[in-house]
Amino acid sequence: MRTDIVRSWEFTDSQHRYEGRDAILYALAIGLGGSPLDPHELRFVTESRLQHPLPTFGTVLARPALDELFEAGEIDRVKVVQGEQRMVFDRPFPVAGEVVGRAKVSGVWDKGAGRGALISWDHELFAPRSGERYCLSRSITFARGDGGSGGDDGRPPPPHPLPKVPAEAFCDHATLPQSALIYRQLGDRNPLHSDPQVANQAGFDRPILHGLCTYGIAGWAVIRTFLDGRAEDLAELDCRFSKPVFPGEMLRTEMWRNGNVVSFRVRILGRDIVAIDNGRALIRN
């Protein structure tokens, strides 16, 4: 990896116009609509009830050109996976509209030769006319095929600690076998999620689900369980990705609430392993 190029990389601002059907497609991609009588789900998957997209819809809007960064920085794209995701939601997105995305690399940490590297980047979405910010996304990408090229001093921020007691709330969510194929229609066309040969090259026996799709599922679990479907009351959502999910697996979000903070993790029930760990959601006052 060319750490000097990655650390000083300058993204071009990106614009993204979307329609209500895109917001509905996102909700369907993360699995809403499976309960056709549930008013909370219908609020995000039917045109007549859609007031605002889900807040995590921001993960697929005006995405920066990461492939250009990976190519210039000589990063093994096939072995790149999502490491962490943190978002701050300032205001709801309109049903349809346009956003401007501005991104920058905020850190590069070398784990050592053969152990990979962590690349942190910030991505903000704004209304093009008013300049009001919709959200801030802070992502850490794990370049598993790189490392040993040096990086910034220090380490990424420590993960949110989970309580040591049994979870007080659960939300089960079935992913579809075609979940990744639906989700990729929102713009993330990484073949790791659709091409068995590419998945094999990356060390998986079949295509995996997008980490940000699982992230959206976790966000919905918090909204459904503690906010009675009021997505606009979710202020922040942070997590660390620990294991990949395969499309079609059943997920269980385990949650603890302490005031306006919800701690969570996502477990893959069929394999009894944790896919998302150290989760933290902040509920708006």
- Please list the active-site residues: 188, 193
| 213-219-222-228 Cα dihedral, nearest 10 degrees | -100
Full-model pTM: 0.93
Across 37-60, average pLDDT: 96
Question: Does pLDDT of 202 surpass 90?
Answer: no
Per the listing, tokens 């966000």 go with 219
* 20-29 vs 211-226: helix crossing angle, rounded to 10: 90
Residue 60 contacts residue 174 (beta carbons within 8 Å):
no
DSSP secondary structure string for all residues of 179-221: HHHHHGGGS---GGGT-HHHHHHTT-SS----HHHHHHHHHHH
Residues 6 or more apart whose Cβ sits within 8 Å of residue 138: 84, 85, 86, 87, 106, 120, 121, 122, 123
Q: Give the number of residues written for the chain.
A: 285
At 60-88, the pLDDT tens digits run 999 988 889 989 989 988 888 889 999 99
pLDDT-derived band at 214, boundaries 50, 70, 90: very high
Q: Structurally, how many domains does the chain consist of? A: 1
Residue 213 contacts residue 179 (beta carbons within 8 Å):
yes
CATH number at residue 219: 3.10.129.10
List the domain range (segments joined by +) for residue 85. Answer: 3-283
Question: Does pLDDT of 18 surpass 80?
Answer: yes
Q: Is 98 helix (H, G, I), strand (E, B) or coil?
A: strand
Give 254 or 151, the one with higher predicted confidence.
254
Q: Is 58 helix (H, G, I), strand (E, B) or coil?
A: helix
* % of the chain residues with pLDDT over 70: 100
CA–CA separation, 33 vs 35, rounded Å?
Answer: 5
Residues 6 or more apart whose Cβ sits within 8 Å of residue 29: 179, 182, 183, 185, 186, 213, 216
